[in-house]
Amino acid sequence: EGGEGVSVTQGVVSRIEIQRYAHSGANLLAVQIDAAINPGNSGGPALNAEGDVIGVAFQNQLDSQNIGYVIPAPIIAHYLIDDAPSDPRRPAGFPSLGIFWQALDNPQLRAYLGMEGRTGVRIRGVAPTAPAAALLRTGDVLVELDGHAIANDGSFAIGGQERLSFAHLIHLKFAHQTIGLRVLRAGEELELEVPVRPLQRLIPPTA
């Protein structure tokens, strides 16, 4: 448990990817570090070698040693300026496109879908409560999102060699904004502007 003094630990970044946040259950971008984050000393700033704050330490990996996670600055910035249209005192939450997708690593499946050298992921379902349900169809191939080409594993390129899940591009938007999509449908490319918003649950929470 944390004490009354200052606790300092250090490590290196080992991974940056979408992770499940233990406190909220949300799947958002997180930075994995090889430094211990123990109960009682989470919530502190994470600093880089130059002393800049790049995130907030918030959880560790159960049943492991020296694997901790940091909420990165873009996620924190989004939360701080986000507000619900109905109540500016509350955040609206991170939006979702509301789709379920399938990777297209299989060359036979790509040929069947007529991708002809393109990359992307197949939409295998759309949540009925999502605005995308009126625009997207099961079987569409998502080839581009917000100007970024989508790889067959659902990632997009950032920087020289790094890749992230395309879900992060959606999380950077705010409720009731739109995001540009390029999809392949029956051999024809379509450009769509699809609204994004936090998904509404079919069954409200009981808590």
Residue 8: the pLDDT is: 78
Q: Which residue has the tokens 């507000």?
A: 83
Is pTM beyond 0.95? Reply is no
Using alpha carbons, select from 101, 131, 122 the residue that is nearest to residue 198.
131
Q: Is the Cβ–Cβ distance between 99 and 122 less than 8 Å?
A: no
Query: How far out from the chain centre does Cα 181 lie?
Result: 16
Q: What is the pLDDT along the chain (207 residues), one digit of tens a residue?
A: 455 667 777 888 989 999 998 878 889 999 999 887 776 667 889 999 899 999 998 888 776 677 889 999 999 999 998 987 777 778 888 999 999 999 999 999 999 999 999 999 999 999 998 999 999 999 999 999 999 999 999 999 987 788 999 999 999 999 889 999 999 999 999 999 999 998 876 666 555
Using alpha carbons, select from 127, 132, 128 the residue that is nearest to residue 142.
132
Classify 37 as helix, strand or coil. coil
Residue 153: the pLDDT is: 97
**Number of residues in the chain:** 207
C-alpha triplet 44, 22, 73: angle, nearest 5°? 45
Q: Which amino acid is at 99?
A: I
Residue 120: the pLDDT is: 98
Residue 207: the pLDDT is: 52
How many Cα atoms are found within 13 Å in the side-chain-facing hemisphere of 20? 4
Alpha helices in 23-101, H assignment, sequence order: 73-81
